[in-house]
Amino acid sequence: MAVKGSAVRPAGFEPAARGTGRRSRTSGHGAARPSLPASVGISGRSWPYGWLYRAATVADVKDDAPVVEVVPYDPAWSVRFTVEQRLLSEALPAALSVEHFGSTSIPGLAAKPIIDILAVVPEVEAVVADLRPLELLGYVYRPMAFPEDDDHLFFAKDTAGKRSHHLHVFGVTSLIPEANRVFRAYLAANPDAARRYEAAKKRAAELHPHSRAQYGAAKEEVTARLLAEAHLWRRAARHQSAEG
């Protein structure tokens, strides 16, 4: 089993096999999900913007209380992940990795106070076949959160009646974890990029505090640009490493 952790990999991550794991699927209401946004438009293998986890991809909630709240960085987020990592490693013993990703994983970056966790497993079907270990930890399976991707499972966890954790489980051939890892690494290594992302998040939250979907759409342009930069940064790091 690979070592589990949240270590940043500046040079990116290569999955065991190529392939996106994406297959078309309709929602429970029979309506097809919208197609993913166009790729970031970089020469060579590029990543569709939709490969980044976004709040807009989870079912919207509309009520009197704000559903989007961006708060200053809290060092306790890392501690909370470490606790959860240990529990999830026991609940998912076959997992190849259990990692902290998303904005709360980047030191100094303001974020929604929800811990995003990425796990890679040999077979997502095995996880769905026995949800009890995750349910005992308080995770609720949301099968229609990402219906266009059969290789992506989503779980939500509340603590004291408030959303506290999101768990994303991917099959080993999915390329989505790689895109998110490199995006995380790029922001952690480039303060200017992190500041631009934080500014976009704060502005989007101010404009659309009651809609996750509109919040996500408001920062799409900046996020897509940063994803393109991250892709080029990773390629440059690999080239430099090869020359060295």
Residue 119 vs residue 53, higher pLDDT = 119
pLDDT for residue 52: 60
Q: Is the pLDDT of residue 19 over 60?
A: no
pLDDT for residue 141: 97
Q: Is the pLDDT of residue 175 over 80?
A: yes
Q: How confident is the model at residue 162 (pLDDT cuts 50, 70, 90)?
A: very high
Dist CA 176 CA 64 (whole Å): 34
pLDDT for residue 14: 37
pLDDT for residue 181: 95
Among 41-55, 124-138, 159-173, 185-199, the range scoring the smallest mean pLDDT is 41-55
pLDDT for residue 51: 58
| Number of neighbouring beta carbons within 10 Å of residue 54 | 19
Q: Max alpha carbon distance in the chain (Å)?
A: 56
Q: Is the pLDDT of residue 61 over 60?
A: no
Q: Is the pLDDT of residue 36 over 90?
A: no
What are the chain's domains?
52-243 (3.30.460.10)
Sheet with 139-141, strands from edge to edge, namely 97-101, 115-121, 162-171, 152-159, 139-141
pLDDT tens figures, 202-223: 999 999 999 888 998 999 999 9
Average pLDDT of span 118-135: 98
Sign, CA dihedral 203-209-214-217, equals positive
